[in-house]
Structure 1
Amino acid sequence: MAHDLVAVCDVCLGEIDDGDGVLEADMTAADRTLRAWRRRVGADPLAVFHTSRGAQPVRWTTRHHDCDGGRPTHPYTIPVERVRSWPALLQWGVHLADKHFTAATDWHDLVERAVEPRRAAVSGILPRHPRDLNGGPIGDRPPSSPRRD
């Protein structure tokens, strides 16, 4: 079955088949980061990006079960086969919006890299057939060329 989205391992850069890998974030690191940000900037954890130089969110990683890329002690884990379509990715985004730790992760960046492949991601959750935001294939025409409707 062809999927809309593919999972590419952050460790070996190989494509991950269903049942062979996960998308995960370190919940312990995210909780720790969130507490530190709240102490620094108050209730709005996203304000840390505007007020703290070098502040980085906790990264979502995509990996094969057999690839060891520094596995978290307490991961929030999503099997890759559950994030293989645009509706599934959207559904996970809605689900994660209710999780307190998500604000301290790069979930939005992960989704943006899937939506806008010009961001040149080589691993993570990526579209099988990259399209630009106008619906054309990546590399179809130079970015400065006018749209042909």
Structure 2
Amino acid sequence: MDMHVEDRFRGHRALRRGRVSLPGQVYHVTVVTRDRRPWFADFHVACEAARAFHRPVALADATLLAWVLMPDHVHWLLELGPRVPLEMVVSRMKATSGVQANRMLARAGPLWCPAFHDRALRQEDDLRAVARYIIANPLRAGLAEHIGGYPFWDCVWLPSFSL
């Protein structure tokens, strides 16, 4: 028995109440897969999802500054553009990557949890330090010994970036 859409997202909307989406603001967003299923442990599925992150339809007018795709979750460092609010950008990113991953998995249905965690960065926060923290996730999880050994991440500061 499937819940009515309004009932399904009531908790998510309650979490977002009072949150503001500001143009030009940078957010660290974390999204987990449904039931923490490690869909992205499959190399080809992860490749499709990673490609989807950079599609204009997913990003709208936002800029993806850094990201890392883990087997059961993703971290995005996003700078919002002038028109599309954070909730819509995240929804588009999840939908676009979910469709691609589901195609590879030959499955249908939601891949990501409906909710997400976000943290607005303050003006005094060092964006590169936050990006390093995000990108080092596979190292902390023991998935790689050095970041070059893990294929599912990217950063706009790549040419001048080191961990």
Judge same fold: TM > 0.5, yes or no: no
When the two structures are superposed, what TM-score results if normalisation uses the length of structure 1?
Answer: 0.29
Structure ID, larger Rg: 1
When the two structures are superposed, what TM-score results if normalisation uses the length of structure 2?
Answer: 0.28
Higher relative contact order (CA 8 A, sep 6+): 1
